[in-house]
Structure 1
């Protein structure tokens, strides 16, 4: 332990670097560390926040610090302590730790709340009110870890969250839970079949072999599954399928998946025979010329897009680039403004879907006039097929456009259009 008098002298030193180094030492008296928790220099307070020797009373002060960097350092330290809350030797230290966690879990900065959520995701000893608040956070990076893993959330509470029109990504997180009974799965599917992010949520549920899905719920999924390619593989690989379900799947999954389906150990002879008959009736699955042309076009676009250094900024500049057929620059600008990956933007613009391209423009924050230009320019949509403005604005609702983007982001041919879409409505 450093000499107390020396520590006091160093704590009062005019050089911030001297005080910072002292703040990071583990052999300093608690009262000195508490004193430094109110230092005028953020770097000194950050050192105290990260110091495991800092008394919890000082952490309580730092949890309300004005500097986000200080609070983030504290969150990381407290996050390391959180899994061991039940092992705290002294009750009052544990209570102070929980109080610090409660303050940080309500922090105005999302990344600090995220650190706390990640640290509490598996613990059974966290404050229930903190877990409940984090589960309903407006940021999925905060709510997601809790929704996916927290053992403190009951099925009843999760069902309530599911039915409350939660933030995008919440349904997917719940679908990945390691313990997921039939009531929870039923509620999730009922909501997902009409939610903008429902495709990915059901995909995650089907991939989760710890999820118990009621036969009636599976039948509901199978009713619309033909239009959702992302579901076909997970459906074929579900651990429990009746012969009737397998035969329904055989009617629409790919020939490759038929091969997987007929090899299931739980497939009875009658079902295997039906699958073999279906397989024999299928033509060979070969890439068509149009598909090959699209692949070639996208490959060429990959190379061209890599050469864009300064994409146009602002709608006028983007419209000028469209008029000049500078499509690589347009794609780069849309990717930047929408926050979507460039391959996703390329795929949407090559989809020949007026709705998908309109949703992409909406995601980028563009006017409907620019959405029309994107459809006709890089989208290559004929004039009579363009989606036009309605009352000067977008003709689709926000939820419809979220849906279109979800389909574009989902793997495979996620929803083969009108029939499946109407079935989900």
Structure 2
């Protein structure tokens, strides 16, 4: 083993490989490693960053290193050593480690913060302020791991993140947490984040109060993504089942009937709801359509178009009454496309083309979700998910969809 004097001499050796070897040696004295942390050669400084025997003072110095790779290696090392921190937060080792983690949690390089987040996501001893900084990060790859898994985050921390206007996707991670408390579930439910609410409903360990579930069910008819996780929620009340039965697809009601965890009262409610829906469907099929004759239907659409009544409200009413022929012809009229093109889109069950048709007809993006499910019959996993006020494709891409489904003679 080299003596202290030998190490001092090697630390000043003109050959960087000699200095790097010294920096990598776990037997090198802490003060020598601190000296090498400021070496002009990045290869030497990297070895100090990798050396688990380096003093925290040297690590703290390296958090400001200009070399991205060095800070990345440093983040991985310190995060790896964090579970072994002393319980006494008053020690110099604890304080210096926290300072280094704080600096790395705010590093300009996303990769450094990602490494830190993934390494600390399940570490119970991780400093709370560092975890909260990572949880609020504006990069989802940084915030998501700790938001979903970190045991350090309190309910108050999670509510703070939710109420701070987090980036898209952050609430999804929170919604997937194990044993989520009711107060946090309520905040997610009232956020209006469709995907996060879907994840919340699919999280069987999440506590959801009955009034919160009622709040979600009130809004569920227009959110297909929620239907399946809603009907599969554990401990559904008979009242909730009856409400769900009024709008979810029959195949989902069939799945509810096959559940083994529901009590007799709830199963009776499901059976009654299914029987009622079947009776309504039969009655609707036997009823004379409102616009039975082709000429009357065309004339009705033309009159509505001229008076400004051919709009989303009219189409929603027709969908509710099962008047699909009216909806098809109305979309063709509003979009200025041949009825044959509309029929071809529906027959092909093309979700993207339905979105394009909705856009061409001058309707709002959210209406495309209704058309995909109620007109075409697509399931929650088949539809193109819609933003409330933004189309998921460019105008050129949507026009391409329409051209693709048009007859050759109708393509310009």
TM range (shorter): 0.5 to 0.7
Partner of 2:62: 62
Is the CA contact (8 Å cut-off) linking 2:351 and 2:384 kept in structure 1?
no
Is the CA contact (8 Å cut-off) linking 2:62 and 2:74 kept in structure 1?
yes
Cα distance, 1:189 vs. partner? 0.9
Partner of 1:271: 269
Secondary structure at 2:190 match in 1: helix
Cα distance, 1:100 vs. partner? 1.0
Partner of 2:148: 148
For 1:92 and 1:356, the matched residues in 2 are separated by 52
Cα distance, 1:12 vs. partner? 2.8
Scaled by the length of structure 1, the TM-score of the pair is: 0.64
Q: 1:295 to 1:181 in 2, by over 3 A?
A: same
* 1:355-399: CA deviation from partner (whole Å, max 9, x where unpaired): 9997446xxxxxxxxx4433323454999xxxxxxxxxxxxxxxx
For 2:390 and 2:82, the matched residues in 1 are separated by 46
Q: 1:90 to 1:144 in 2, by over 3 A?
A: same
Higher relative contact order (CA 8 A, sep 6+): 1
Task: Indicate whether 1:250 and 2:251 are aligned.
Answer: no
Cα distance, 1:276 vs. partner? 4.4
Q: 1:21 to 1:53 in 2, by over 3 A?
A: same
Secondary structure at 1:377 match in 2: helix
What is the correspondence of 1:11-410 to structure 2 with a 5 Å cutoff?
11-86=11-86, 91-191=91-191, 193=192, 198-264=193-259, 265-269=261-265, 270-277=268-275, 293-294=348-349, 359-360=391-392, 371-378=394-401, 380=403
Q: How many residues align?
A: 314
Q: 1:259 to 1:14 in 2, by over 3 A?
A: same
Q: 1:161 to 1:88 in 2, by over 3 A?
A: closer
For 1:127 and 1:119, the matched residues in 2 are separated by 13
For 2:92 and 2:133, the matched residues in 1 are separated by 24
Is the CA contact (8 Å cut-off) linking 1:206 and 1:234 kept in structure 2?
yes
* 1:107-142: CA deviation from partner (whole Å, max 9, x where unpaired): 122221222233333344333333332222222222
Q: 1:377 to 1:355 in 2, by over 3 A?
A: farther
Q: 1:90 to 1:143 in 2, by over 3 A?
A: same
Is the CA contact (8 Å cut-off) linking 1:376 and 1:382 kept in structure 2?
no
Cα distance, 1:278 vs. partner? 5.3
Scaled by the length of structure 2, the TM-score of the pair is: 0.66
Q: 1:35 to 1:164 in 2, by over 3 A?
A: closer
Q: 1:251 to 1:66 in 2, by over 3 A?
A: same
Is the CA contact (8 Å cut-off) linking 1:23 and 1:47 kept in structure 2?
yes
Cα distance, 1:15 vs. partner? 3.0
Q: CA RMSD in A?
A: 3.5
Question: Gaps spanning 5+ residues in structure 1: where?
Answer: 299-349, 362-370, 384-425
For 1:290 and 1:151, the matched residues in 2 are separated by 49
For 1:215 and 1:75, the matched residues in 2 are separated by 44
For 1:121 and 1:48, the matched residues in 2 are separated by 25
Cα distance, 1:57 vs. partner? 1.4
For 2:159 and 2:196, the matched residues in 1 are separated by 14
* 1:331-374: CA deviation from partner (whole Å, max 9, x where unpaired): xxxxxxxxxxxxxxxxxxx989999997446xxxxxxxxx4433
